[in-house]
Structure 1
Amino acid sequence: MNLMTETCVLRFRGKPIPGEFDDYGNPVIGPPRDETWPCWYEPRGSTEDTSAKDQQIYGYWVYLPLSAPLKGADAVVVEGDEHQVVGEPGRQPGGFIVDGFQKAAIEKVGG
């Protein structure tokens, strides 16, 4: 049984291009690299912080295969929006019926 019926993108920051420098001598950074992975995501609740009345937090629980390089990703793109991983992803080993997966809280903060 496969629970990963949606698609997420793991975005990785660009790396310096060897031998290329800008006018100030800084290395030129290449474009970000995206990897598409099967996933499942669902909204997650958040608590209100009265000291930040105008702040809104949008978040999901995202589930990805164990082989997805989630720890190395700079962002997780869900429904076209970039989100950051909050905390440490959890790993659930596979069982008799369901394959293993990793679960992470991701959020997009806007104000």
Structure 2
Amino acid sequence: MNDRLPSGILVSALLRRVNDAGGMAMVLAKGHQQAGSILLILNDKGRFDGFVEPGRDLSGNPFLVSAGPGHIDSPAEVTAYWQRRRSRDPDLWVIDLDIPFAQRVAAETILPR
């Protein structure tokens, strides 16, 4: 038995949490409802803060892994990166978050405890 919640439920919980906290969350690409990977685009007041995705460390503990290029100058580069990822993984969810401390909010919401 798998102890992981379906991706669609995790995404719904994250969208609700961000919106309830006064931020903005948007699904840019829907992935597989049960087992799709999740890529998060982090923003704070419209300023790009990076990409993260759920992962596990060597001990099996969940955490958010930095993803994508280290330095991005334009929204077009952000879009190009997630679209390249999505072209290789059509089951990938792409979620854009715009809220202060977006990474913390995401970790508290979608990572198992």
Q: What is the TM-score of this pair, normalised by structure 1?
A: 0.24
Q: Which of the two has greater strand per residue?
A: 1
Q: Please identify the structure whose Cα radius of gyration is greater.
A: 1
Q: What is the TM-score of this pair, normalised by structure 2?
A: 0.24
The higher-RCO structure (CA 8 Å, 6+ apart) is: 2
